[in-house]
Amino acid sequence: MDIQVKSGRIGAEMQGTMVVGLFEEDRLEEGSSPVLDPALQRYLRSVLLCGDFKGKKNRLAVLYPSGAAAPARVVLVGLGAQEKFTPDTGRQAAGVAARKLALFGVKDFFSTVHGLDLGRFAPEWCAQATVEGAMLGGYSFNLYKSDPGTAVRLDTLTLMVSQRIGITTLRAGAETGRMAAEATILARDLSNTPGNDLTPSGLADMAAKMAKKNHLRCTVLTKNAIEKEGMGGLLAVSRGSEEPPRFIVLEYGEPAEKRDTLVFVGKGVTFDSGGVSIKPAERMEEMKHDMSGAAAVIGGLQAIAGTKPDVHVVGLIPATENLPSGSALKPGDVIRTLSGKTVEVINTDAEGRLILADALTYAKRFNPVGVVDLATLTGACVVALGHAASGMMGNDPALMDAVRTAGETAGDRVWPLPVWEEHHELIDSHIADVKNTGGRWGGALTAGAFLEKFVDYPWVHLDIAGTAWIEKDGAYCPKGATGAGVRLLVELTRRWRKS
Ligand code: BES
Ligand code: MN
Ligand code: ZN
């Protein structure tokens, strides 16, 4: 995937494929657009006068201007009302255009940088969002199709801008966008891969492969080492499966006196059947993506290896299957976690928190200034927030603020949920230190309370159960895995302590 940023006018040669973003307000009067070639602009003005294309958000018109010397195609994409525009509007517009073009089998195109001429958002942000949308919009998962159809991957995207000044900044933004999108695609691929092909050891192999390619350190603890460590939560969940567990440690950079350490923890349940507290059959197949937190961490670290922020980053992934069998964990069992705390297991389907407890304890040895865990943890979070935002809980307002801003900027939104004393009380156990479920109500919050018992550092928990997987095609994501969390982690590290 090659991304270019060039100064000049789009359509000057009137050939190839050109994506042009237009606002509802755009009339394309003589001289009003600095980036459109005057002849193309005149033609588009006459198209607008027909009134069929009104610039409505994510609407498309595909045009084949006559009289062009070489084959030429113009895709108009609506950016909506100027006043409502955000970089994510640009990401969406680029996404729907790219999706259309992928179906046509188009591998190279020119595009305007959506929102750039408004002057309301940093130019590098507009470039980054346009690149992300264009790369992610054409995504499809066809690894298992004998005939992948016409879907193609983008080869070259050329962003056209009118001014020469600031082109370096635009190129930097485009490059960050390329790295973030590639990492999001990796995360989507991992989450979409079925459980028979992505086992805990398979996930560890993918993490190690990514690390090697990007010069990151990677250590994988096998079952023996996990036993020696005393990770009772991870071992308990994996007991029902023939597949041995893994504990994956990824590392970017190193600790230094003037450098902070951040730890990202990702839930890596490669298939969640619920265990003995088995789930209903309907839509159980989707639980192959219960390792989306792990995918976000692996993708996040891949991008971070490229964006090179001045911070030490550790990724921790407890990986296991959750299956019922004669050796499986049972309701009523009491287990001892790495922290020494005991847990009474009420429901074996609340397995994510058991393996995260060990990872959160393990995180302490890195002396982190902040820990962010990402997990497809509760159906209750999907009920609360739907697919529009990940649920955010935590114990440190400053870190929560940083995470929220990063998510907002990256189009990878999170929304705060509370964890109060009342939620802690709901998980008191009569016979152990804590129990693993808190009853029917406020399920996302009692899960948050459970995790909070294992941290003693600034910490944020992101419940991505609703955002990691979508049931309908989105503007820059076909139905299935979204790669949620990757862009947030990239943005969080990029701006860490700089502002
Ligand atoms: N992996 C699921 C949560 C989930 C549900 C993720 C839907 C994505 C979509 C998790 O392990 C789980 O089963 N949680 C239970 C917890 C309950 C038993 C307290 C749930 O939400 O029902
Ligand atoms: Mn479960
Ligand atoms: Zn689960």
CATH number for the domain including 91?
3.40.220.10
Of 29-33, 34-38, 128-132, give the range with the top mean pLDDT.
128-132
Q: Are residue 244 and residue 360 in the same domain, yes or no? A: yes
Q: Is residue 412 part of a domain?
A: yes
Q: Are residue 93 and residue 207 in the same domain, yes or no? A: no
Q: Are residue 145 and residue 212 in the same domain, yes or no? A: no
Residue 216 clears pLDDT 80, i.e. is over it? yes
Q: Are residue 361 and residue 285 in the same domain, yes or no? A: yes
Handedness of CA 12, 14, 17, 19 (dihedral sign): positive
Probe ligand 1: pick from 373, 378, 436, 467, max atoms within 8 Å of CB?
A: 378
Q: Are residue 267 and residue 415 in the same domain, yes or no? A: yes
Q: Are residue 314 and residue 423 in the same domain, yes or no? A: yes
Q: Is residue 438 part of a domain?
A: yes
∠ CA 113-118-121 to the nearest 5 degrees? 75
Q: How confident is the model at residue 154 (pLDDT cuts 50, 70, 90)?
A: confident
pLDDT tens column, 232-255: 999 999 999 999 999 999 999 999
Q: Are residue 360 and residue 423 in the same domain, yes or no? A: yes
Q: What is the pLDDT of residue 70?
A: 82
Query: Counting atoms of ligand 1 from 1, which one is nearest the CA of 436?
Result: 19
Q: How many domains does the chain have?
A: 2
Query: So which residues are the catalytic ones?
Result: 279, 353
pLDDT tens column, 267-316: 999 999 999 999 999 999 999 999 999 999 999 999 999 999 999 999 99
Nearest CA, atom 16, ligand 1: 350
Q: What is the pLDDT of residue 31?
A: 85
| pTM of the predicted structure, to 2 decimals | 0.97
Q: How confident is the model at residue 148 (pLDDT cuts 50, 70, 90)?
A: confident
User: 272 C-alpha to center of ligand 2: Å?
Assistant: 6
What integer is the mean pLDDT of 32-49? Answer: 93
What integer is the mean pLDDT of 143-159? Answer: 84
Ligand 1 touching residue 445 (CB < 6 A): no
Q: How confident is the model at residue 12 (pLDDT cuts 50, 70, 90)?
A: confident
Residue 499 clears pLDDT 80, i.e. is over it? no
Residue 215 clears pLDDT 60, i.e. is over it? yes
Q: Are residue 140 and residue 278 in the same domain, yes or no? A: no
Around Cβ 344, how many Cβ atoms within 10 Å? Answer: 20
Ligand 1 touching residue 350 (CB < 6 A): yes
Q: Is residue 306 part of a domain?
A: yes
Six-digit token string for 94: 């680029």
Q: How confident is the model at residue 497 (pLDDT cuts 50, 70, 90)?
A: confident
Query: Counting atoms of ligand 1 from 1, which one is nearest the CA of 381?
Result: 21
**Residue predicted with more confidence, 155 or 371:** 371
Tell me which residue range forms the domain holding 143.
2-162
Q: Is residue 120 part of a domain?
A: yes
What integer is the mean pLDDT of 341-348? Answer: 98
- Cα separations in angstroms, 349 against 75, 198, 289, 317, 331: 47, 20, 15, 19, 10
Q: Is residue 177 part of a domain?
A: no
What CATH number does the domain containing 396 carry? 3.40.630.10
Ligand 1 touching residue 347 (CB < 6 A): yes
Of 162, 193, 225, which residue sits at a domain end?
162
Q: Is residue 157 part of a domain?
A: yes
pLDDT tens column, 85-98: 999 999 999 999 99
Ligand 1 touching residue 482 (CB < 6 A): no
Q: Are residue 429 and residue 378 in the same domain, yes or no? A: yes
Of 162, 196, 228, which residue sits at a domain end?
162
Q: Are residue 117 and residue 205 in the same domain, yes or no? A: no
What integer is the mean pLDDT of 172-197? Answer: 98
Q: Is residue 272 part of a domain?
A: yes
Q: Are residue 337 and residue 485 in the same domain, yes or no? A: yes
Q: What is the pLDDT of residue 367?
A: 97
Q: Is residue 138 part of a domain?
A: yes
Q: Are residue 277 and residue 375 in the same domain, yes or no? A: yes
Of 129, 162, 195, which residue sits at a domain end?
162
